[in-house]
Amino acid sequence: MQELPLIARAQSHGHRIAVRAGDREYTYAELLDASAAVAAALLGAGKDLAEACIAFLAPGGFEYLAIQWGIWRAGGVVVPLSVSATKSELEHALGDSGASHVVVLRAHAEKLESLPGESDRQLLIFEDIALTANCLLPEIDPTRRAMILFTSGTTSTPKGVVTTHENIRAQIESLVEAWEWENSDCIPLFLPMHHIHGIINIACCALWAGATVECFPKFEAGRILGRVGAGAYTLFMAVPTIYVVLIDLLESQRYTGEVRERILSGFANMRLMVSGSAALPSTVHEKWTALTGQSLLERYGMTETGMNLSNPLHGERRPGAVGKPLPLVEVRRKSESGDLITVEGEPGEIQVRGPVVFREYWNRPEATSEAFDDGWFRTGDVAVLENGYYRIMGRMSIDIIKSGGYKLSALEIESVLLNHPAIRECAVVGVKDDTWSELVGVVAVLKDGASDLSIEDLRAWCKEWLSPYKVPRRLLVVDDLPRNAMGKVTKTVLADTFGR
C-alpha cells in the first residue's frame, strides 16, 4: 500500500528519536504505533474517514503528533484547535468546520464538554485510546484535503484555510531543500500548534527529515535557555517577539557569568536560526548578531501559501529584507491598478503561485475566488525588490494586525467590543510596538449615560470573549492613527467617529 510520504519516511527512521518532551523520548516507531491506534479508534468499523473534519485539542507534544498523524492515516482532515481559545472561538472552529469528532487530552476535555452542539460530536479522550490498537488503513490520494487552519482576515470571522496532502508535501520539501534539514538536526518547538509556523516549518519539516523535535507546551524561556546552554539544538525558529524577549533576558541580570556564556555559545553553535511570521526589525537582527554571532535568517510566508520568500542559507542575509522565492514558489508583484511590476524599486502586492498554495477557504467559494488573480494568490502584503531581494513594506489593509506573530482581524475584535454595554462605536487598529510588532489598540465612543470606561475594565471584560493576544492593550487618541503600506488611513469608521 502506498503511504502518505511523511508516514513512509517515518517508517525508514524507525528507532531514531522523533520527539523529546520533558524527560521522555519517543522514537519514530512509537509515533507510528500511537498514530495507527488513533486512526483505528477514529475508524471504528469504517474503512476511510473520507475527508471528514476531525478537530483536536492538545499542546505541542508526542500526543499532538500522534493525533495529527492518526487523523491523516485514517483519511480525515485535521482541524487543530488553539489551547488558549475562548469558548466562542472554539465554537466557531468546530461549527465552521463541521467536525464530526474531537480528539482531546483529558486535561483539556472540560473546555469542550460544555460547548453547544457537543452532543452531535463524538468526543474522544486520547488517554482512553488503547495505544496497541491497529487496523487496515486506507490509501490516501495526495490531492485530498489534509488540514484546516483558521486565519483572520478582512472579514469578522476567521476563515478555514484548506490545504491538501500535496500542498503540505510541497511546503515541507521547499523548506527541507532550502534550509538543508538533516536527520542529525534537533529543534525546540514552543510555538502554538494551530498555526503553520509550528506545524509545518518546525514539526513537519523535522519529522520529514528524521530529526528530533523537543516539545514545550508553550514558550518557557527559562527551560528553553537551559537546553540551549546544554547545546541541545542545531536549529531554532521563532517569531520576532521571541527574539526581543530573549535579548531582554540575556541583557538582564538574570543570566550572568558562566551560565550566560554557555547560553550564548549554545546559540552561536547552532547551524541556523530563523525569524518569521512578522517583520524582524533591523535593530533586532543586528543586536542578535552582536550578542550571539548568529545572523538570523528572515523569511516570509502565510497560512494560505506556506513559506514564499527567504534569505539564503548560504550567502548574504540582509537585515530588513526577506530574500528571494523559495523552491517550488513563484512570486510576482502587482500595482494597485493591477499592472504587473517589472522594475525593482516600485512597491506592489506580492502574489504567489505553485504547489504550496492552498486549495480553498472552507465553505467560502466566493472568498476563495476573490483571493486569486488569474491563478495567483493575492497575499495582501506589499513589497519592493531591492538589489534582488524582496523587502516587505506592510499590508494593504490596516484591518489586519500582527501581534506577537498572531494575525488578528480588527473587525473580529470590533464586533466583540460592540457587545460591551458601554460602547456605542469603536475602531480597532494595530499600534506599532518594539516587542509585539503591533499592539491591539482601540478607539471607543461610549453610549450616552455610560460611565467612563478604562482600558483595564475593558480588558477584564474581553478576556471571556477573546484569546489573550486579541485583548486590546491601548486606548488611542486620534493622532496615533496608523496608516497602511500605501500611506492611507483606510478605515472609514475612524472618519465617521472623529470626522473634523
Which stretches of the chain bind ligand MLC, using CB under 6 A? 191-192, 195-198, 218-219, 239, 241-242, 276-277, 301-303, 403-407, 436, 439, 468-469, 473
Burial 475-487 (b: 16+ CB within 10 A, else e): ebeeeebbebbee
Q: How far is the CB of 308 from ligand MLC (least distance, A)?
A: 9
Using the minimum distance from each CB to ligand MLC, give the nearer residue, 74 or 206: 206
User: Which among ligand MLC, ligand AMP, none contacts residue 323 (Cβ within 5 to 8 A by kind)?
Assistant: none
Using the minimum distance from each CB to ligand MLC, give the nearer residue, 175 or 427: 175
Q: How far is the CB of 384 from ligand AMP (least distance, A)?
A: 13
Scanning 39-47, 219-227, 295-303, 469-477 for contacts with ligand AMP by CB under 6 A, the matching segment is: 295-303
Amino acid at 277: S
Q: How far is the CB of 171 from ligand MLC (least distance, A)?
A: 11
Contact 297, 275 (CB under 8 A): yes
Using the minimum distance from each CB to ligand MLC, give the nearer residue, 347 or 405: 405
Q: Is 301 in the site for ligand AMP (CB under 6 A)?
A: yes
Q: In what order do the strands lie in the sheet with 324-325?
A: 235-238, 272-275, 297-302, 306-310, 324-325
DSSP state of 327: T
As a whole number of angstroms, the distance between CA 496 and CA 491 comes to 9
Q: Is 392 in the site for ligand AMP (CB under 6 A)?
A: yes
C-alpha cell, 490:
483606510
Task: Pick the binder of ligand AMP from 322, 356, 384, 416 (CB under 6 A).
Answer: 322
As a whole number of angstroms, the distance between CA 377 and CA 372 comes to 5
Q: Which long-range contacts (CB under 8 A, 24 or more apart) does 278-285 make?
A: 278/239, 278/240, 278/241, 278/402, 278/405, 278/437, 279/240, 279/392, 279/437, 280/240, 280/243, 280/319, 280/320, 281/240, 281/320, 281/434, 282/319, 282/320, 284/240, 284/243, 284/244, 284/247, 285/319, 285/320
Q: Is 278 in the site for ligand AMP (CB under 6 A)?
A: yes
Task: Pick the binder of ligand AMP from 96, 214, 381, 412 (CB under 6 A).
Answer: 381
C-alpha cell, 336:
494597485
Contact 361, 161 (CB under 8 A): yes
Residues 191-210 touching ligand AMP, rule: CB under 6 A, are 196
Scanning 125-133, 213-221, 273-281, 480-488 for contacts with ligand AMP by CB under 6 A, the matching segment is: 273-281
Q: Is 279 in the site for ligand AMP (CB under 6 A)?
A: yes
Size of the site for ligand AMP (CB under 6 A): 18
Angle between helices 410-417 and 455-462 (to 10 degrees): 100
Task: Pick the binder of ligand AMP from 300, 389, 390, 436 (CB under 6 A).
Answer: 300
Q: How far is the CB of 436 from ligand MLC (least distance, A)?
A: 4
Q: How far is the CB of 316 from ligand MLC (least distance, A)?
A: 21
Task: Pick the binder of ligand AMP from 285, 402, 470, 491 (CB under 6 A).
Answer: 402
Using the minimum distance from each CB to ligand MLC, give the nearer residue, 28 or 465: 465
As a whole number of angstroms, the distance between CA 362 and CA 359 comes to 9
Q: Applying CB under 6 A, which residues contact ligand AMP?
A: 151, 196, 276-279, 298, 300-303, 322, 379, 381, 392, 395, 402, 407
